[in-house]
Amino acid sequence: MRMPAWLSGRLGPLEERQFRLFWTGQATSALGDSLVPLAMVFAVLRLNGGPAGIGLVLASITLPRVLLLLVGGVWADRLPRQLVMVGADVARGTVNVIFAVLLLTGHAQLWHLVAGAAIIGAASAFFVPATTGLIPETVSPGRLQQANALMSLSRNSSQIIGPSVSGLMVATIGPGWVFAVDAATFAVSAISLLALRLPDQKRSMRAGGFLAELAGGWNEVASRRWLLASIITFGISNVGMAPVFVLGPVIARDHLGGSTSWGLFVTSLGIGGLLGGLLALRWRPRHPLATGFALSIAIALPALALAPPLGLPLIVLAGVFAFAVIELGNTWWYTVLQQQVPPEALSRVSSYDWLASIIFQPIGFAVVGPVALLIGPAPTLYAGAALNVLANLGVLSIPAVRKLTMRERPGHEASSGDQRVEPGPVAGPVELE
């Protein structure tokens, strides 16, 4: 499929059959996933689960994912990654079919949702690191950043559209049908993955077994100063953002007119992510990490806007700008990761990256409430903003972060500022937190 020249530079990865198949399946699945959070909440409420039930379901998704992410990274480097992803799709799709049947027939109980959520979380622990490793196998190296940007665009578009569609479905035909639709999108994803025809990749099967491979993944992280420092910074930034999501709804209720105002802010985050993805299709800085972390100071803007609080238009604008920067930086991050880390270790490295963010987020959410009671909401928001600014400025003090450059073509040696520079990905295409 050939595109006009003016589109090819931006959407060129879709000219390549393997990436087109992959992107179609993942974009469809992302749309289905965006329907589920709201439907899950109302399914729990219809079963009289209340806030405690909602928290239990969310914990059931998160805990297995945290516990199994590193395991998923090892197996995604051992086996063909698309087959690991297919297995995860089959598991999650099956759970959604069971949810749909139980809810539509009136036989659902809260423990069903809790158990199913745990399976979904466990399957996601295998799916996510496999995805990061698979993208470079589906697209040519020169189009890797654009491929990552297209993945970002599909995710953020779904997050803008999905909640409204889900709300309409829940109100008219019930949450059971939402899970049925999501199950169908998992089927589309699995079929597209099975249709991929990819070159054989070197897989990790070290003599020491699982623990040796896990240690090998950590060595890949620790031996690159830019990589270890970046992962730590992402985790700190997630803690710094926690006050926005914990205290923001309360501020919206008390000072901004209620839930509608908070809904506008949440929508602005998706719009910002969409704009960041569009910009990432074309902007390719020579020093992606240095540029990304410098821009990421803007992540502090929502907290600074909510603390006084400013007027709703300024708060919404802060959300748009902050999440545009986040998605732009994420695209550069995944591209650099896929270029600099050996393909056979990429999923294990990605699992350490994701684990840092997932572990730190609940910690941030847990401490915000007590801290706000102790020092007040506004100082807590200012503290979160300061944490973000200091983390992103601090990582720029590391020469390896500042000097790392984007590779322009396969085999091109970019200066990383580290003692070692790894060869680029073997056949070439992406995904930041």
| pLDDT greater at residue 55 or residue 304 | 304
In terms of Cβ atoms closer than 10 Å to its own Cβ (0-12, 13-18, 19+), residue 117 is buried
The whole-chain average pLDDT of the chain stands at: 88
Residue 425 scores a pLDDT above 50: no
Q: How confident is the model at residue 429 (pLDDT cuts 50, 70, 90)?
A: very low
- Per residue, the 3-state secondary structure of 257-275, as one string, reads CCHHHHHHHHHHHHHHHHH
Taking residues 140-155, what's their average pLDDT?
93
pLDDT on residue 202 = 61
**Mean pLDDT lowest for which of 39-43, 51-55, 178-182, 365-369?**
51-55
Q: How confident is the model at residue 413 (pLDDT cuts 50, 70, 90)?
A: very low
| pLDDT greater at residue 167 or residue 106 | 106
What are the residue ranges of helices labelled H in 312-376? 312-340, 346-375
pLDDT on residue 2 = 54
pLDDT on residue 160 = 87
pLDDT tens per residue, range 311-348: 999 999 999 999 999 999 999 999 999 999 999 999 99
Structure-block tokens of residue 257: 């007119």
How many angstroms separate the CA atoms of 433 and 428, rounded? 22
Q: What is the percent of the chain where pLDDT is above 70?
A: 90
DSSP codes, 236-250? HHHHHHHHHHHHHHH
pLDDT on residue 316 = 95
pLDDT tens per residue, range 1-42: 555 544 445 678 999 999 999 999 999 999 999 999 989 988
pLDDT on residue 410 = 44
Q: Which domains does the chain have, with CATH numbers?
A: 13-206 (1.20.1250.20), 214-403 (1.20.1250.20)
Q: In 10 A of CB 431, how many CB atoms?
A: 23
Residue 112 scores a pLDDT above 70: yes
pLDDT tens per residue, range 269-314: 999 999 999 999 999 999 999 999 999 999 999 999 999 999 999 9
pLDDT on residue 359 = 86
In terms of Cβ atoms closer than 10 Å to its own Cβ (0-12, 13-18, 19+), residue 76 is buried
* Residue tagged 């295998």 (tokens): 126
Instruction: Enter the pTM of the model.
Output: 0.85
Residue 108 scores a pLDDT above 70: yes
Q: How far is CA 103 from CA 82, 94, 97, 128, in A?
A: 31, 14, 10, 28
